[in-house]
Amino acid sequence: MRILTGCQVTSDQFHLGNYFGAVKPFHDMCLAHPEAEKFLFVANMHSLNKVQDGSLRRNALNTLKLYLACGIDPDDVFIYNQADIPAHAQLERVLGCITHMWFMERMHAYKAAIDQGKASDIGVGTFTYPILMAADILLYDATHVPTGQDQKQHVEYTRDIAGKFNNMFGETFILPESIISESVGTIPGIDGRKMSKSYNNYIGMLDEGKDLMKKIKKIPTSLEPIEAPKDPDTCNVYAITRLFLTPDEDRELRAKYTDGGLSFKRAKDYLYEKVTALLTPIQEKYHTISDEQIVDMLAQNKNKANAIAQAKINDVYQKIGFTI
């Protein structure tokens, strides 16, 4: 079993949506499979589609520090930098040549751009994004790919592209399984829409104190009086709070909603308490990790990652007739 995932570095920190939707499920999966090999890489070649002001380096350092602070153990998880490995771009080229336009045009992200009338405004790299993602996965013979829900289609693309290559040139790639933590779903932001960097509606992993409280206070709530029984399932505060609760705590909180007598101020104070309890130790750990530690780790892992990826690209080059 080889578990592999990538993290984009489109911001200098990540948010609770990323944490509960992607980072924690990955971490939980690592803990559940001590025997498996685990690979995690900085997807900076993907992130370049969005970040073009030179800040990718800073973003990558901070993002990796946060991963480690969240408990990802670099002795258990092999962590590397996608851009250090030329084979990602090499395989992307090969796979791009055998993939048709009609196949790519079904991609959700591209269809959304068409619906918004923005199809000509996206970069070519955004259009070919799933092909690079297929290369990321197939180079390393990954068997299991944990991601957030929105990435499921991309892993399906990977399987299709791998199957096509195998049919054309003989068994070369392992078809990976997509691992989605269905119970988490989409975490809402402080305006009720999906929590996302693009909407600037997020609670960041490094948020604290007054700034954190200010964000929580902004979460829209209904105008019902305190005494009124309330439906937790339509409450934006509950939708975030539930992520932090044990089953017992969840039952208790739901009862407080449905019994009436719970003020939204109290519900927000409780959320603040829960967020702080999760984030404070992560933030403390984060501040103890230096840039040098991350740079050293990536430098150490570069050769091993290149050796694995290069062996696969050599096999591919042989089969397609590039090696002369």
| Residue ranges in contact with ligand ADP by CB under 6 A | 8, 10, 17-18, 21-22, 147-151, 186-187, 194-198
Question: Does residue 151 bind ligand TRP (CB under 6 A)?
Answer: yes
- Residues in the interface with ligand TRP (CB under 6 A) total 13
Q: Taking a C-beta distance cutoff of 8 angstroms, is the pair 59, 10 a contact?
A: yes
Give the x-and-dash track for 116-145 against ligand TRP (CB under 6 A).
-----------------x--xx-------x
Choose between 8 and 99: whose C-beta lies nearer to ligand TRP: 8
Q: Which does 186 bind (CB under 5 to 8 A by kind): ligand TRP, ligand ADP, none?
A: ligand ADP
Stretch of 5-13, 215-223, 241-249, 300-308 lying at the interface with ligand TRP (CB under 6 A): 5-13
Choose between 38 and 46: whose C-beta lies nearer to ligand TRP: 46
Q: Which does 232 bind (CB under 5 to 8 A by kind): ligand ADP, ligand TRP, none?
A: none
Member of 8, 59, 63, 99 binding ligand TRP (CB under 6 A): 8
Give the x-and-dash track for 11-50 against ligand TRP (CB under 6 A).
--------------------------------x--x----
Question: Does residue 147 bind ligand TRP (CB under 6 A)?
Answer: yes
Question: Does residue 66 bind ligand TRP (CB under 6 A)?
Answer: no
**Dist. CA 274–CA 213, nearest whole Å:** 12
Q: Which does 145 bind (CB under 5 to 8 A by kind): ligand ADP, ligand TRP, none?
A: ligand TRP
CB of 40 to ligand TRP, least distance (A): 9
Q: Point out which residues bind ligand TRP (CB under 6 A).
A: 4-6, 8, 43, 46, 133, 136-137, 145, 147, 151, 154
